[in-house]
Amino acid sequence: MAEIMQKDSEKNRIMIIDDTVENLSLLNKLLSEQGYEVSLFPKAELALKALKLNIPKLILLDINMPGMNGFEFCEAVKKNEDYQDIPIIFLSAMQDIKDKLNAFQTGGIDYITKPFQFDEVLIRVKTHMKLRQQQQELEENYRQLQLLEKCVEKRTIELEHSNKALEESLGKLQQDEEAGRIVQFKLRPKNKTVIFDYKFEYCLRPSLYMSGDFVDYFDIDENYAAFYITDVSGHGAASAFLTFLLKSFINSCRDNYHARHDDVIITPNALLSKFNKYLYEEELDKYITMFYGVLVKNENKLIFANGGHFPFPFIYHDNDIEWLSEKSTPIGMFDFSEYKNVSISLPDNFTFTIFSDGILELLPEKNIKDQIDYLKVVLKDAELDINKFVDKLTDGDTPLLDDITILSFKKGKRNE
C-alpha cells in the first residue's frame, strides 16, 4: 500500500462534500471555529480529483448528489490504495436501515442523520480524527516492525513461537469474553422488581457479544431509591469494561452514603460530575451518556440529572405523555462539564420510560421529531410489552447497529 505522508498543517484537514450550499457553509463555520482546516466541494467528482493533491484526515460525505452520489464516491475512494484508509462519515437525511447498511458496506465508518446536531457532529468528528491518528501510529509501528524482521533471520523462529502464543492468547481471550459476559449479566438488576411503590423492568439487547449499554435500579434506604441508564461510546468488550467501572463507582458512592461520608448517591448532578472527573482523568478514550434519577419515596418526587443522554425520558399519566427535555454534555468528554439537578413531583399513577439511542436506528420514521412522536404513540399503549416491542422492530433478522436498551418503571394503575 502506498504510504500517505502528511505535514503538520494537514493533520486536522477535513474534506466536506455536499451539494447544498447551506450545509457546506454551516459545517465550514462549525469546524473552522474548532481549529480544523476545511475544504469544501459541491460535487463528488471535484472532490475525487482534489484528493490527488491534498489528502484529508477525514471526509464528511452527503449521499444524494447530482452526478456521482455518495455511495459511488465512497467506493471509488476505497478502491484506491492511496486513499482507502481515509475515514468517511456519511451525512444524510436518508433514514432507511438499508441505506445505512449500504453506507457501511461501501466503506463508511459512521453515519450522521440530517438535520444534524452541531454537538453530535463535533463529537463524531473528534472521535474519528483521534481514531485515525491512532490507526496511523499503529501502521507506522507495524512498518518499523516489518523492517526489523527483514534484518533478523532468527525472527522467523520467534514468529512461530509468537503465533503459537497468539493462538493461546486468543483462546484465553474468548474465555475472558465469556467470563466478562457472565459477569456483566450478573451485574444487571433483577428484572421486573418492585422497589417501594415503583415497579421496574428493562429490556437490553447487545449488538455484539457484550454490551456498552447498562441499566440499574436499587433501594438506598427508607427515604430514597435510585436508577440509571448509560450508553458507552463504541461497542464490545472495551465499552463493556466501562460499565464494570461505573457499577463499582456507584457501589462506592452507596457505601460512602451509608457510612455518612457524603450524599453523592442521592444528589444526581454531584454524582455525574464526580464520575465525569474520574473518567476524564483516566484518559480511557471513552465517554458515556447517562441519565441518573433519585426517587424520594414518601414525597413521590423524582430528582434527576442528565449526562448527555438522548432520547430524553417520557412520563405517561392522565392519558398524556410528558417529555423530560434536559440537554447536557456526555460524561468523560470534557473536564469543564456541569450538570443540573431537576426536581419534579410525580403523579399518583404514571409510567416512566427511557430508551438508549440505539432504538432510533430501528424506527421507520426519518427525522428526530417524527421518531419521538412515534415513541409517544407507542408508550400510550396500556398493554405495551417492551420486549415484544423490540422483537417487532428487529423482526429477528435485522442486524443491530447499536445496543438497544429500554428502562421503565411505573406507580399505580394506568388510566386506560
Please write the tens of the pLDDT for every residue from 289-324. Answer: 999 999 999 999 999 999 999 999 999 998 899 999
Prediction pTM value: 0.57
What's the pLDDT score for residue 5? 40
Q: How would residue 344 be classed by pLDDT, with cut points 50, 70 and 90?
A: very high
Find all residues with CB under 8 Å of 44, minimum gap 6, and list them: 17, 61, 65, 67, 68, 69, 70, 72, 73
What's the pLDDT score for residue 52? 86
What's the pLDDT score for residue 282? 86
What's the pLDDT score for residue 4? 40
For the cut 60, the answer to whether the pLDDT of residue 176 exceeds it is: no
What's the pLDDT score for residue 294? 98
What's the pLDDT score for residue 141? 83
Q: How would residue 410 be classed by pLDDT, with cut points 50, 70 and 90?
A: very high
Fold type of domain 188-411? Phosphatase 2c; domain 1 (3.60.40)
The model's pLDDT over 193-207, given as tens digits with 9 standing for 90+, comes to 999 999 999 998 877
Higher pLDDT, 167 or 345: 345
What's the pLDDT score for residue 387? 86
Residues of the chain with pLDDT > 70, as a percent, come to 86
What's the pLDDT score for residue 368? 92
Least confident of 86-100, 168-182, 216-230, 236-250: 168-182
What's the pLDDT score for residue 415? 44
What's the pLDDT score for residue 6? 44
The model's pLDDT over 383-406, given as tens digits with 9 standing for 90+, comes to 889 888 888 888 766 667 778 899
Q: How would residue 362 be classed by pLDDT, with cut points 50, 70 and 90?
A: confident
What's the pLDDT score for residue 182? 57
For the cut 50, the answer to whether the pLDDT of residue 54 exceeds it is: yes
Q: How would residue 7 be classed by pLDDT, with cut points 50, 70 and 90?
A: very low
Q: How would residue 8 be classed by pLDDT, with cut points 50, 70 and 90?
A: very low
Alpha-carbon distance 275 to 282, whole Å?
Answer: 11
Which top CATH class is 8-138? alpha beta
For the cut 90, the answer to whether the pLDDT of residue 375 exceeds it is: yes
For the cut 80, the answer to whether the pLDDT of residue 230 exceeds it is: yes
What's the pLDDT score for residue 9? 46
